[in-house]
Amino acid sequence: MFSCEAPGHSGARGRRQQRGRPAQGHDVQNTVVSPRARRRVTLGTHRAHLDGYDSPPTPQAANEPFHQPQQGALPLPQPLGPHECDLVRRSVAVVEPQAGELAVYFYAILFVRYPEVRPLFPENMDVQRDRLLRALLRIVDLVDSPEHLAQFCSRLGRDHRKFGAVTAHYAAVGECLLETLARFAGPAWTPEIALAWERAYGIAAETMILAADSDSRLRPAVWNAQIVGHRHLGNALAEVTVATDPVYPYKAGQFVSMETPWRPRVWRHYSPANAPRPDSTLTFHVRHVAGGHVSHALVYRARIGDMVRLGPPEGDMVLSAPSGRDLLLAAGGTGLAPIRALIEEIANDPHRLQGRHVNLFVGARTGNELYGLDEMLRLSQRHHWLTVRAAVSHEHIPGAEGSLPDVIAASGTGAHAEAYLSGPPGMVAAARQVLLRCGLPPAQIHHDPLGVPVLDAPLDPGHPEKEEDNRI
């Protein structure tokens, strides 16, 4: 389990190991599993199958509507005791320096023992292996916080449906995971630690399974989508429009995972650049990034008529109830897509503004990368409630010079606003700090971890993890 979308490159240890092979010195075939462990975590007869691009993912009628599931409806897991939490965390500290080798070994024994699980994962496992420990660390961080653990694992369980994960797979993963931890922990691994880990993994797996089961009653695992529009915008950027069947239920500001036929089982996150439309189409802004096979295919290879698949909508950066505060929207790069969707939603129903003003900041490194600005300026001419400002950080352009966070700070518009931020993680973090210094309460700053997978996303958007500072 612990599949995840993987943006860009990864530099964790273990990359030099031959793909799909265990680390040197670890014999997969001769690995011994205790009878007790075998009894406790056994794989049933269920198998997962990835739906084809031209077949419906679920038996529901094509036109049957689906609604987004209500969050927080599942019971909270029973937390581990303080001593158990300490045992789990100490064991992770022991194996963490061997993260790369640990992940290689784990996936090797998983695929050898349970080859039916292999089709759930991408052909190239480099990035996937690098993210295994991140999942473990996240769960370990939350083992003594039932509410946050339920939130994280429920989200993970719902997301795993698109990979084809079924209940039986969790037992296989648990068996191989505990054995891997025991091998790499060495003498530090004790029966007491093993029992604590069985409890910790059992809590996480049960929460994921319950969330997936609940989600399956409300909506498909994936939506088949046909490309109905493709337009190059210049500077390695394309506008891709898709139509789904059944209708894709999302809110303006959310983001979507997408799989293409050119890179099966590899999912990337993109944000619709439009509010929900009567014809149910979605438009995405995709920029080709160096080494990005999916983005390259969507920009340069995709054609009208091609099929892609969409995972369920994610994210909480949606318009809140009217509060009387002006709105501050900040977009860096293709982060303009969800911000544009929010503006379109407001334009479709301007009464929800209730006299409030919208201040939009659009940022880029250079003027050539500042796409969408002309459209936003034209929109501001039609709607008196919208003001648009540009920010260019790596080029001298009179009136638009400076990083996006600096331009926001200089504007003086953030002290009493409701803020929505979208763009590179470094920009979002910097803009958030600017707004906090202006006196804006954290509850009035909204953003989602766009561009990173569920396992890398900060549980609390108010405390983003350290990322490369992609300042705009």
Instruction: Answer yes or no: is pLDDT of 354 > 70.
Output: yes
In angstroms, the CA 212 to CA 88 distance is: 26
Query: What is the structure's pLDDT at 75?
Result: 65
Query: What is the structure's pLDDT at 9?
Result: 33
Burial-class residue 197 by CB neighbours within 10 Å (0-12, 13-18, 19+): buried
Average pLDDT value for residue range 380-408: 89
Min mean pLDDT across 18-22, 206-210, 229-233, 405-409 is at 18-22
Instruction: Answer yes or no: is pLDDT of 146 > 90.
Output: no
In this structure, are strands 281-287 and 237-245 parallel, antiparallel, or unpaired? antiparallel
Q: Is the four-CA dihedral 309, 311, 312, 314 of positive or negative sign?
A: negative
Domain with CATH 1.10.490.10 in the chain: 35-216
Q: What's the pLDDT band for 10 if we cut at 50, 70, 90?
A: very low
Q: Judge: domain 327-446, CATH 3.90.1310.10.
A: no
In angstroms, the CA 246 to CA 226 distance is: 12
Q: How many helices (H) and strands (E) does the chain have?
A: 13, 11
Q: Can you read off the two tokens belonging to residue 432?
A: 């958030």
DSSP symbols for 94-147: HHGGGHHHHHHHHHHHHHHH-GGGGGGS-S--HHHHHTHHHHHHHHHHHTT-HH
In angstroms, the CA 329 to CA 306 distance is: 33
Domain with CATH 2.40.30.10 in the chain: 223-310
Domain with CATH 3.40.50.80 in the chain: 327-446
Q: Can you read off the two tokens belonging to residue 297?
A: 């295919």
Neighbours of 376 (CB within 10 A): 20
Q: Which fold has domain 35-216?
A: Globin-like (1.10.490)
Instruction: Answer yes or no: is pLDDT of 55 > 80.
Output: no
Question: Which superfamily is assigned to 223-310 in CATH?
Answer: Translation factors (2.40.30.10)
Q: What's the pLDDT band for 321 if we cut at 50, 70, 90?
A: confident
Q: Is the four-CA dihedral 450, 454, 457, 462 of positive or negative sign?
A: positive
Q: What's the pLDDT band for 125 if we cut at 50, 70, 90?
A: confident
Query: What is the structure's pLDDT at 17?
Result: 36
In angstroms, the CA 216 to CA 58 distance is: 9
Map residue 28 onto helix, strand or coil.
Answer: coil
In angstroms, the CA 295 to CA 280 distance is: 23
Burial-class residue 158 by CB neighbours within 10 Å (0-12, 13-18, 19+): buried
Average pLDDT value for residue range 64-78: 51
Average pLDDT value for residue range 217-239: 96
Query: What is the structure's pLDDT at 143?
Result: 85
